A and B are shown apart, each in its own frame.
Chain A
Amino acid sequence: MITDELYSTYQSNLLAGSRSVCSHIVTDLIHSNIPIKELYIHLFQRSLYEVGTLWERNKISVATEHMCTAITESLINLCYPAIFSANHTGQKAVITCTPGEYHQIGARMVADHFELHGWDGYYLGSNTPTDELIKFTMEKQPDLLAISISVSFNIPSLMALVKKIRSHFSDLKILVGGQGFRWSGADEFQTMGNIHLITSLDELEQKFLIPRRHDT
């Protein structure tokens, strides 16, 4: 369990760049069989949101923000033996960031959640060129495509990408989400067909990853 005290220790060490202390905390939590989702939401996501807020309020430098992200990305690697052990359902998702979006950790956490639920989560990372994404999607024929933006100024780029995708894959289910939608931008996508705005990992899980019982 992630207590406030443990979180606080983790967070202060993350900001100080003490990777080894953070790594010990994460390793201990994994060994204590903490659910991976809890680790992602209550440690990685929470701490990075806090880092983002500190950066936005000019409390930390962009270099510190990048360092915290880099440390978190390396810590996420520790979870993979557990994440990839799930039995595969045969469903496939492609997860990517828009061109020009260099913050990839949110998309990566989404891809890992697909894997955790037995999907094949094909993760393309940051700043994916549109043509490459289209080519990859044609090759993999996924059940859905998830696109993440972390900063709101990438909303126009996301819109252009979605239109291009739609011109190639008219029926493909598209999920959009990320911190880029924190303040605005959601409306434009909600009126488009078969595009779903996802605001949290919980919502992703409830709506798309946990199989629903059919109503009788």
Chain B
Amino acid sequence: MTPEANPHLIDYLILESSMICLIIGQDGTILKANSCADSLSGHKLEGHPLNDFFVDFGRALDLTVFLNGSRDKILVNISTSSELPETYYFRFFDLGNSILALGEANRQEIGFLRKNMLELNQELNNLTRELLKKNVELKKLNDLKNQFLGIAAHDLRNPIGIIMTYSNFILEELNHEMTDAQITMLNTIQTTSEFMLRLLEELLDINALESGKLRLEAHKTDLLGLVRTNTSMMNVIAAKKNIHIQVESYETIPEVIIDRGKIEQVLNNLISNAVKFSLPGTTVTVKLFLTGDHVTVAVVDQGPGIPANETDRLFKPFQRTSVKATAGEKSTGLGLSIVRNIILGHHGKIWVESKVGVGSAFYFSLPLSS
């Protein structure tokens, strides 16, 4: 029996069916819609144009196309109240002055999609499980590495200290008995030992920071005063390279609650880096200014600048950029990572702005409140 042959059947379908049932006028207006269609669309469809319900992707719906030829099911995407379009398969029947459209979902397709969704979800959960397991294992390995690093660095510090002390003693007390070549060798021992000691100190710092052992002894501090003191000490070193360090601050900087020693370490690191990568005759400027509820410090140099694709790795341990120190100074590759951790420990922020051929500016900001 076809719907055309039995009007009661049509009424029944219109009202009760779980299929979408629409009576559409020749002008494309929905004359009647059953509760299934209304419920899917989220509103009463009666009186609305068909393309309020059918997703047409910009092409005008041509009902004559639906009515021509066979009664094959036609795939139509419909708008739903869930905002996710759904696909229904429609048959269209000519009722004379109007068109009956009957749409049903493809159960096979839904079943197939549901099975795939379930499998994908299970796969995702299983992969998440594996990932979390690996994460915990990596954390354990990292803790072990830190433990090892801490022990190694701590135990190596004393022997290096002894090498430095004795080479210094020989240089100072016995240099008149030595040849120039021997003095050069001893100088090399001393500078190498100094570098090794610095590396060990930084490894210990990294180890402490990574193990969450950063202990801040925070007190109210005059940050501008601290910057001035630090800068004046660093000027002695900078002068050897004919580099001048200056401080710029045009506003009253309130006292901040910080660990003086640690922030001094940050300033030392940033200023010595600026000096390390600057050419003679240039200036390093340390600026202090207020930014909302933070005080910001900028260390600005006129060095070669850092390529944009290398700035991301600056604050990671053991990472170096392609930029070379202007007087061959060595780097441990740990300084900026330590600096970053200290600033984060103060609930501050650190970042860099750099342009090749112009220079670099390293910024850190600290909250004004505790």
Of the stretches B40-48, B125-133, B228-236, B354-362, the one at the interface is B125-133
Q: Answer yes or no: A84 CB below 8 A from chain B CBs.
A: yes
Please give the number of chain A residues whose Cβ is less than 8 angstroms from any Cβ of chain B in the complex.
18
Binding site for B on A (CB under 8 A): 63, 66, 70, 73-74, 76-77, 80-81, 84-85, 102, 104, 108, 115, 123, 125-126
> Contact between B132 and A77 (Cβ–Cβ < 8 Å)?
yes
Chain B 98-116 interface 0/1 with A at a Cβ cutoff of 8 Å (1 = within): 0000000000000000100
Can you list 6 A-B contacts (CB < 8 A)?
A73-B122, A74-B125, A77-B128, A80-B129, A104-B122, A123-B126
Q: Are B122 and A80 in contact, CB atoms less than 8 angstroms apart?
A: no
* Cβ–Cβ contact A85 & B136, under 8 A: yes
A41 to B129, CA, bound (A): 19
B137 within 8 A of A: yes
A78 to B133, CA, bound (A): 12
Is the CB–CB distance between B126 and A84 below 8 Å?
no
When distances are taken between beta carbons in the complex, the residues of chain B under 8 Å from A108 are 125-126, 129
Asked if residues B136 and A81 are in contact (CB atoms below 8 Å), the reply is yes
Residues of B within 8 A of A102 (CB): 118-119, 122
Asked whether, in the complex, the Cβ of A126 is within 8 Å of the Cβ of B122, the reply is yes
Complex Cα–Cα for A37 and B114 (A): 31
Using a CB–CB distance below 8 Å, which chain B residues touch chain A?
Answer: 114, 118-119, 121-123, 125-126, 128-129, 132-133, 135-137
A-B contact count (CB 8 A): 42
Contact, CB under 8 Å: B126 / A125: yes
Closest to B137 in A: A84
List of A residues within 8 angstroms of B137 by Cβ: 84
CA distance A77 to B129 in the complex (A): 6
Using known A-B contacts A66-B114, A66-B118, A102-B118, determine if residue A84 contacts B125 with beta carbons closer than 8 Å. Answer: no
User: Contact at A125–B122, with CB atoms within 8 Å?
Assistant: yes
Measured between C-beta atoms, what is the minimum distance from B38 to chain A in Å?
21
A85 to chain B: which residues have CB within 8 Å? 136
| Chain B residue with the shortest CB-CB distance to A97 | B122
**Secondary structure of the A contact surface, majority rule:** helix
CA distance A115 to B132 in the complex (A): 12
Which of B121, B126, B128, B136 sits near A70, CB closer than 8 Å? Answer: B121
How many angstroms between the C-alpha atoms of A115 and B133 in the bound complex? 10
Q: How far is the CA of A80 from the CA of B132 in the complex (A)?
A: 6
A47 to chain B, nearest CB (A): 17
**What are the 9 tightest A-B residue pairs by CB atom distance, in nearest-first order?**
A84-B136, A80-B132, A73-B125, A125-B126, A84-B133, A77-B128, A70-B121, A104-B122, A126-B122
Chain B residues, CB < 8 A from A126: 119, 122
Whole-angstrom CA separation of A122 from B157 in the bound complex = 44
User: In the complex, what residues of A have CB within 8 A of residue B126's CB?
Assistant: 104, 108, 123, 125
Q: How many Å lie between the Cα of A102 and that of B135 in the bound state?
A: 27
Cross-chain contact B121 with A73 (CB below 8 angstroms): yes
- In the complex, what residues of B have CB within 8 A of residue A70's CB? 118, 121
**Residues of chain B with a CB closer than 8 A to A74's CB:** 125
* A77 and B124 alpha carbons, distance in the complex (Å): 11
CB distance from B161 to the nearest CB of A (A): 37
A81 to B132 alpha-carbon distance, docked (Å): 7
Nearest CB of B to A133, in Å: 15
**Residues in chain A near residue B123, CB distance under 8 A:** 125
Residue in A closest to B133 when the chains form the complex, CB atoms: A84
Nearest Cβ distance between residue B43 and chain A, in whole angstroms? Answer: 23
Closest A residue, CB atoms, query B132: A80
Q: Give min CB distance, B215 to chain A, whole Å.
A: 25
B114 touches A84 (CB 8 A): no
Bound-complex Cα distance A66 to B136 (A): 29
Closest to A104 in B: B122
Question: Given contacts A66-B114, A123-B126, are A80 and B136 in contact (CB under 8 A)?
Answer: yes
CA distance A204 to B135 in the complex (A): 27
B121 contacts across to A, CB distance below 8 A: 70, 73
Cβ of B129 and Cβ of A123 under 8 Å apart? yes
Given contacts A63-B114, A108-B129, 4 further A-B contacts (CB under 8 A): A66-B118, A70-B121, A77-B129, A125-B126
- With the chains together, A187 CA to B24 CA distance in Å? 63
B117 CB, nearest partner CB in chain A, Å:
8
Cα distance A74–B121 when bound, in Å?
9
In whole Å, how far is B195's beta carbon from the nearest beta carbon of chain A? Answer: 39
Q: When chains A and B are docked, how far (Å) is the Cα of A123 from the Cα of B128?
A: 12
Which chain A residues lie closer than 8 Å to B135 at the CB level?
81
Closest to B136 in A: A84
Q: Which of B118, B122, B128, B132 contacts A84 (CB 8 A)?
A: B132
The docked-state distance in angstroms from the alpha carbon of A108 to that of B124 is 13
Measured CA separation A76–B132 after assembly (Å):
11
